[in-house]
Amino acid sequence: MRDFFKSRGFKLLLVAVVILLCLVLFTLITKIEFLSSQFSFITAPIQKVGTEVSEAICELLPDSTSSEEYKNKIKDLEEEIERLRAITIDYYNIKKENIQYKEFCEFKKTHANLNFLVSSVVGRSPDEHFQGFTVDQGASSGIKIGNPVVTSKGLVGHVSSVGEISCHINTILSPEAKIGCICAETGDCGVISGNFKLCEQNLTRMIYLSPGYTLQPQNLIVTSGLGGAYPKDLVIGKVTAVKSDENNASKYAIIEPTEDIPNTKDVLIILGEK
Amino acid sequence: MKDKHSIYRFIAYSLELLTLFVLQQSPQALPIISNCKPNLVLAALVIIILFEGAIISLWFSIFVGLLLDAALGIIPGTQAILLCILGYFIGYIAQNYFKKNILTALIISMLSIIIFYHMQFLLLYILKGYSEILYAYLNKCIPTIIYTWSTVIILYLPTKFFALCIKEKQDFVNLENLST
């Protein structure tokens, strides 16, 4: 035992412990990490190499994640995708509605002297010949037969029959439309009255053109306001062509309405002037 | 008991007709072929007429006629009168001279739909003075007839279910005797 404590090895041990203790005390007192910073010059590159090698080896080895875990992950991700998809659809719907309401708002500001009622299309009968439709407002909201119906893009038609909570709209594609109109550029007057063939292409006619007409394709047609049934300057559509009728007795202009009437979803019904 | 079953059956028919009415009126619920949509209510009515006979057919024809008048925004009763006369006669003929199966349903429905649509075209298009009669006839009336008739095959089974399942047992026996 005495020989153990007197041995060379034990003495070396004692020296090493003392040196290390001094180093610790030195680092604690002076806060200078002299030795560790010197070591990092050697250890950091070695650690980097070691990490890269171990990552490369891990990539080569087969994945230890079980298929059950992957299935659960996929299921969670699919649910997340569905949830986000639903939100996206809602977002686009709300955005579309917002754009439409902004257009309605602008239209109302432009025609500030008129009273409007917003209404939604709720029915399109299969027996309709001229794209007429039913909306969800009726006599209880103050609607009367003959009230003009518009959208932010232009005139759509007029109220042809009224129930308590719904009413039926005859469109400008119908021969019964009979709307007094005028060309905004040339001043040519006429009457809007559609027919079945043109209605199928979402077009209507401006009939009773005077012999000296000057309107051209792309001219804008608006309501003339004559007769009092429709307010003045409501946009109807644009001229696409001028043709002769079947008897060659008169000319008529083919009008493309500004509104896509077969696909209209919301309309403004003009109740009258303020 | 017989009346109770009849009432349930008529309620079932009414709900079926109303559901089909809402479906055909909804802007984008049904596929549009050649600018036409099928008249599902009419197709279902014809099958009801086949199973129920003259008197019941009369009442349901009036009901469907009023629905169709409301949908078009025309004077109530215009198509109701057409349909009630048609429904009564077709119901009488079907009750006394025809067996009740899919083949007779197709034949009777074809005849009924053709007659109805021609009368409707006469009343609501020709007599109103609209132009291009032949064009509208070929491009609207005929495709609508064909499209409506094609839905009879689909509507036959649910309507037959109501007609046969919501009945008294004695009525079942009578119906089976009529069919053989």
Query: pLDDT, tens digit, for every residue of B3-52?
Result: 788 888 999 999 999 999 999 998 878 888 888 999 999 999 999 998 88
- Bridge partners for A190 per DSSP: A181
| CATH code given to domain B2-171 | 1.10.1760
Delimit the domains of chain B by residue range: 2-171
**Residue A46: predicted pLDDT:** 64
Distance CA A74, CA A66 (A): 13
From the number of C-beta atoms within 10 Å of its C-beta (0-12, 13-18, 19+), residue A58 rates as exposed
**Residue B180: predicted pLDDT:** 46
Residue of B118, B110, B112, B109 whose CA lies nearest to B85: B112
Query: pLDDT, tens digit, for every residue of B39-79?
Result: 999 999 999 998 888 888 999 999 999 999 989 988 888 89
For A61-163, where are the alpha helices, taking DSSP H only? 67-110
Residue among A121, A160, A265 whose CB faces B73 most closely: A160
> Which chain B residue is nearest to residue A159, measuring alpha carbons?
B73
- And the tokens for A236? 């109807």
- In chain B, residues with a C-beta closer than 8 Å to the C-beta of A129 are 124-125, 130, 136, 140
Residue among A121, A161, A195 whose CB faces B27 most closely: A121
- In chain B, residues with a C-beta closer than 8 Å to the C-beta of A127 are 39, 68, 71-72, 120, 124, 144
Beta strands in chain B (DSSP E): none
Residue B163 has pLDDT above 90, yes or no: no
**Collapsed DSSP state (helix, strand, coil) of residue A194:** coil
Distance CA A179, CA A173 (A): 11
* Whole-number CA gyration radius for chain B: 16
A178 contacts chain B (CB < 8 A): no
Distance CA A32, CA A20 (A): 15
Distance CA B94, CA B106 (A): 12
**Residue A36: predicted pLDDT:** 55
**Residue B143: predicted pLDDT:** 95
| Summary mean pLDDT of chain B | 87
B170: pLDDT confidence band, cut at 50, 70 and 90?
low
The pLDDT tens digits along chain A (274 residues) read 667 677 777 777 778 778 777 877 777 777 665 555 565 556 566 666 766 776 677 667 666 667 888 899 999 999 999 888 888 878 888 888 888 888 888 888 878 888 889 999 999 999 999 999 999 999 999 999 999 999 989 999 999 999 889 999 999 999 999 999 999 999 999 999 999 999 999 999 999 998 888 989 999 999 998 878 899 889 999 999 999 887 778 899 999 999 999 999 999 999 988 7
**Residue B110: predicted pLDDT:** 94
**Residue A32: predicted pLDDT:** 60
Q: Looking at domain A116-273, does it have CATH number 3.30.750.24?
A: no
Phi, then psi, of A163 in degrees rounded to 5: -105, -175
Residue among A129, A160, A265 whose CB faces B125 most closely: A129
**Collapsed DSSP state (helix, strand, coil) of residue B130:** coil
A146 contacts chain B (CB < 8 A): no
- And the tokens for A81? 């995708």
**Collapsed DSSP state (helix, strand, coil) of residue B53:** coil
β A235-244/A251-257 pair status: antiparallel
**Residue A223: predicted pLDDT:** 94
Compute, in degrees rounded to 10, the torsion defined by CA atoms A84, B26, B143, A255: -90
**Collapsed DSSP state (helix, strand, coil) of residue A265:** coil
